[in-house]
Amino acid sequence: MWNRIKAIAKKEVRELSRDKRMLYVLFAFPMILLAIFGYAINFDVHHIKLAVYDQDKSTDSRNFINALTSSEYFDFVEYINNENKIRDILDTKKAQCVIVFPHDMSKKFYSNQNVDIQIIIDGVDANTANIVKSYITAATAFYSQKMQVQVLDALGKEIYLPIDLRPAFWFNPALDTTFFLIPGLIAMILIITAVISISLSIVREKERGTIEQLNVSPLSSFELLVGKTIPYTIISLIITVFILIAGYLLFGIPVKGNMILLFFSTLLFLFASLNLGILVSSIADSQQVAFQMATLISMLPSTILSGFIFPIESMPKAIQILTNITPAKFFLIILRDILLKGAGIYAYWDQLIYLFIFSIITLILSVVITIKSKIA
């Protein structure tokens, strides 16, 4: 049996080595995807365009604006001298938010009265609007505390905080969304590459008619599928190494966990992904159909249902059950635990079991469908 599997694997390697375009796609496509998606998909908001309607025109209002624009998060656009211009500047997207200072801001502050500062934000993009709001809220709280300290110091008093909250962020201290997204991007790239490559390889045999010769040979369906899978498993592991190196060089994504556990987990994920591609090839009869099915069954679920971008916990229960159709969901949890947290197998052993079960189910389905097609 192993000699027959070795023969099929050797045949696949020779055919692949002659197909330069396929080799280019296998090795260049993942790097291009990583660079494009890695830089394009980012939930961090920088250089927010800020306009100011300052009715107070005091040193305090100017200091507040300087405190905001001294960071990379806000870029000052212009001062507004008329309330009617607020809508115009937001409509024309010259600014994303407008801060309105009341005319008696300084007077109220130094007479121990509450000061109401209005923030008008373009809410068309709800996600960006919420981020802008949180940025300004945090900056306002910091500046307010700073001014309070100055006033109390002038009066010879000390500020008293009954509860001093000091948050600490583990695993991603800078709260960089790239660190959160890159592991999901790695999983998405690997599953797309694995599913498409193996499905096209097997369907190519059908189009050329050589599948009939393999069917009448002593090869079993299991031997054929395993022999086809081995070369692409090795290629996918090489691609994984390239992606991890590129992720570290381009985005600073570390590998904090055990490399052996990472290798074993990746191998199991690739086994599940390749079995998914084999399932596609057992259904499709042409490379065009196989490519479309492979893209649909790998890219969409791994992007939408894996937790790559959208948290699974926020989805309805029915959709949460549906997320189990993609192995990227399980591998993504493993990747984030190994790469970012440096956690041991105790943190994700159940995800490895889910991946194994998924692999066995898809492999059995592929073998059954292939045997039925032979009989037909």
Q: pLDDT, tens digit, for every residue of 2-20? A: 787 888 888 888 888 887 7
Confidence of residue 167 (pLDDT cuts 50, 70, 90): confident
Rounded mean pLDDT, 253-268: 91
Q: What is the C-alpha to C-alpha distance for residues 365 and 342, in angstroms, rounded to an integer?
A: 35
Rounded mean pLDDT, 139-168: 70
pLDDT of residue 163: 66
Q: What is the C-alpha to C-alpha distance for residues 217 and 363, in angstroms, rounded to an integer?
A: 21
Which range among 78-92, 139-153, 168-182, 326-340 shows the weakest confidence by mean pLDDT?
Answer: 139-153
Helix axes 328-336, 259-283, angle to 10 degrees: 170
Give Cα separations from 254 to 41, 115, 328, 341, 342 (angstroms). Answer: 19, 46, 20, 10, 9
pLDDT-above-90 percentage for the chain = 15
Mean pLDDT of the chain: 84
Q: Where are the domains of the chain?
A: 2-42+177-375, 48-154
Rounded mean pLDDT, 25-41: 81
pLDDT of residue 155: 61
pTM, whole model, 2 decimals?
0.78
Enter the CATH code of domain 48-154: 3.40.1710.10
Residue 213 phi, psi dihedral angles, 5° rounding: -65, -35
pLDDT of residue 295: 87
pLDDT of residue 154: 61
pLDDT of residue 5: 80
pLDDT of residue 26: 81
Q: What is the C-alpha to C-alpha distance for residues 64 and 143, in angstroms, rounded to an integer?
A: 7
| Residue given tokens 């280019």 in the structure block | 24
Q: How far is CA 272 from the centre of its chain?
A: 20
- Inform me whether the pLDDT recorded for 150 exceeds 70: no
Contact between 225 and 369 (Cβ < 8 Å): no
DSSP letter for each residue of 222-253: HHHHHHHHHHHHHHHHHHHHHHHHHHHHHH--
Q: pLDDT, tens digit, for every residue of 342-354? A: 888 999 999 999 9
